[in-house]
């Protein structure tokens, strides 16, 4: 073992030494990170590097926002205060730990530089002050292809502990090519839960594979099996895990766990299925009351605004449609199927700026036409899809040509005739207001679509509160 208390040399590149780094501070959260790493990542007789970052921005020249960093052995005082408490946790499992102090302008730049320069395969962090590093390293790993090729010689897997203040040693682990907490299932558990993928338990067919109803821990769940033969199936799986495991919102479907080896995703079970099935009354189900339809529209808009305001990057769903809205037995709605969602640079929150992708993705009739033609993606790309869905909520009609149909009915003074005929108590004037809002959302140009926060959501909240 290299004792950094006695040696000033850091782990050299390609040394063949340990590739798991655990970033520590003197706080209790680091103890949770070490404990989790020892129990889940590190094997007996393996080794790891414990790193503490000491910042001194005034002593480092910052170039382009990134300060240079260097490593050194800890002083005796640092070793006693910071590293000694963690030695016992590792030693009890037969794990050799070496200690290292990084010095740099800031935590993020110092740790990111060390990870990139020393071919680190795993990084484990456990305290809230590492959040800025998480944001940077996420982009290094899962950013646009051009950035990855330029900055990384190979992918790294980042592991972390949940860092919320009310979490303890039982916090979930982040374990999938990103800072992602989820429960891991093996394929045997999935097979037993679905009675070996019994066709009678199949409850749907998503764009990336069939969905089965199952039972795990005496709880009903929905299990999606991503088909291995589809293009980009693994990417969609990774994206679904990344997005749903790192956000919490009452109107976003809950991811319970996953079996990454076989591409299976385990979600909470939503009793009433999709909004699409209920609008079209699949299985002869009763029509959704108009009050509940307005409430659903408000809930979806609320969740969408949450995604668009995520920090540090907004998230664009890219495949918003009734089939991807799930309902429970009280008609509580949740957005699901986020396999196409993309984190985009913060500038896209500005309505005049978009993020260029090489190929448009989504579902025909719901794709933003400007995005489809130019490849320019922005948060208002979702607004177009939402507008089409809003029209379906009040008409229960297929999406193709729906905006033209509704606009023509309004112009002809026959709007009431396009409302869902399964209901006879529509508040026509309020439904008309909803339709006009939806048509604005369906404008061909992004810049002509209304703001979700200041225009769409206030009106939908008004409609939700109608009595």
Query: Mean pLDDT over all residues of the chain?
Result: 76
Q: Is residue 270 helix, strand or coil?
A: coil
Whole-number Å distance between alpha carbons of 223 and 264? 7
Can you point out the beta strands (E) in 235-327? 255-259, 264-268, 315-316, 325-327
- Sorted by where each starts, the structural domains of the chain and their CATH numbers stand as 20-180 (3.40.50.620), 184-268 (3.30.200.20), 275-464 (1.10.510.10)
Q: Is the pLDDT of residue 137 over 50?
A: no
- CB-based burial label for 145 (10 Å; 0-12, 13-18, 19+): exposed
Q: pTM higher than 0.85, yes or no?
A: no
Strand order in the sheet with 47-55: 70-72, 96-104, 47-55, 20-23, 122-125, 157-161, 173-174
Strands 264-268 and 219-225: antiparallel
Token pair recorded at residue 2: 């290299």
Model pLDDT, residue 356? 46
- For 192-207, the pLDDT digits (tens) are 999 999 999 998 876 6
DSSP letter for 99, please. Answer: E
Residue 457: pLDDT band by 50, 70, 90 thresholds? very high
Phi, psi of 293 (to 5 degrees): -60, -45
71, HSE (Cβ side, Cα atoms, 13 Å): 24
Q: What is the mean predicted confidence (pLDDT) over 414-428? A: 96
Q: What is the mean predicted confidence (pLDDT) over 308-315? A: 82
- For 102-116, the pLDDT digits (tens) are 887 777 777 777 776
Q: Is the pLDDT of residue 444 over 90?
A: yes
400, HSE (Cβ side, Cα atoms, 13 Å): 1
Model pLDDT, residue 219? 93
Q: Is residue 50 helix, strand or coil?
A: strand
The catalytically annotated residue of 319, 337, 368, 420 is 319
Does the annotation mark 350 as catalytic?
Answer: no
């Amino acid at each position: 073992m290299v004792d950094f208390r006695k040696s000033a040399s850091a782990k050299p590149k390609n040394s063949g030494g340990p590739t798991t780094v655990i970033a520590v501070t003197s706080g209790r959260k680091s103890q949770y990170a070490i404990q989790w790493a020892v129990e889940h990542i590190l094997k007996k007789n393996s080794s790891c590097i414990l790193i503490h970052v000491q910042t001194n921005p005034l002593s480092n020249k910052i170039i382009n926002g990134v300060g240079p960093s260097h490593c050194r052995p800890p002083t005796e005082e640092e070793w006693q205060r910071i590293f000694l408490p963690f030695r016992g946790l590792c030693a009890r499992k037969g794990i050799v730990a070496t200690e290292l102090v990084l010095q740099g302008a800031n935590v993020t730049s110092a740790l990111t530089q060390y990870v990139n320069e020393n071919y680190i395969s795993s990084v484990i962090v456990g305290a809230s002050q590492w959040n800025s590093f998480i944001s940077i390293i996420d982009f290094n790993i899962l950013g646009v292809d051009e950035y990855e090729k330029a900055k990384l010689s190979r992918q790294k897997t980042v592991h972390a502990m949940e860092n919320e203040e009310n979490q303890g040693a039982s916090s979930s682990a982040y374990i999938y090519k990103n800072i992602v907490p989820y429960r891991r299932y093996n394929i045997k558990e999935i097979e037993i839960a679905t009675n070996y993928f019994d066709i009678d338990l199949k409850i749907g067919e998503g764009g990336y594979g069939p969905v089965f109803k199952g039972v795990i821990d005496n709880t009903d769940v929905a299990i999606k099996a991503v088909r291995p033969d589809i293009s980009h199936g693994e990417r969609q799986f990774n994206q679904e895990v990344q997005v749903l495991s790192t956000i919490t919102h009452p109107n976003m479907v809950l991811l319970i766990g996953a079996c990454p080896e076989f591409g299976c995703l385990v979600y909470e079970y939503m009793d009433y299925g999709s909004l699409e099935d209920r609008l079209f009354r699949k299985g002869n189900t009763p029509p959704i009351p108009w009050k509940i339809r307005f409430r659903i529209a408000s809930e979806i808009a609320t969740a969408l605004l949450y995604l668009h305001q995520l920090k540090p990057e907004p998230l664009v769903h890219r495949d918003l449609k009734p089939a991807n809205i799930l309902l429970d037995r009280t008609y509580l709605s949740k957005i699901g199927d986020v396999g196409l969602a993309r984190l985009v640079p913060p500038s896209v929150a500005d309505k005049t700026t978009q993020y260029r992708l090489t190929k448009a993705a989504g579902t025909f009739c719901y794709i933003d036409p400007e995005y489809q033609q130019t490849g320019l993606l922005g948060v208002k790309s979702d607004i177009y899809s939402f507008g089409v869905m809003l029209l379906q909520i009040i008409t229960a009609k297929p999406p193709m040509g729906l905006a033209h149909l509704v606009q023509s009915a309004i112009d002809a003074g026959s709007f009431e005739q396009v409302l869902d005929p399964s209901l006879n108590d529509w508040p026509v004037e309020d439904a008309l207001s909803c339709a006009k809002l939806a048509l604005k959302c369906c404008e061909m140009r992004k810049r002509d679509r209304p703001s979700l926060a200041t225009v769409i959501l206030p009106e939908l909240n008004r409609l939700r509160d109608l009595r």
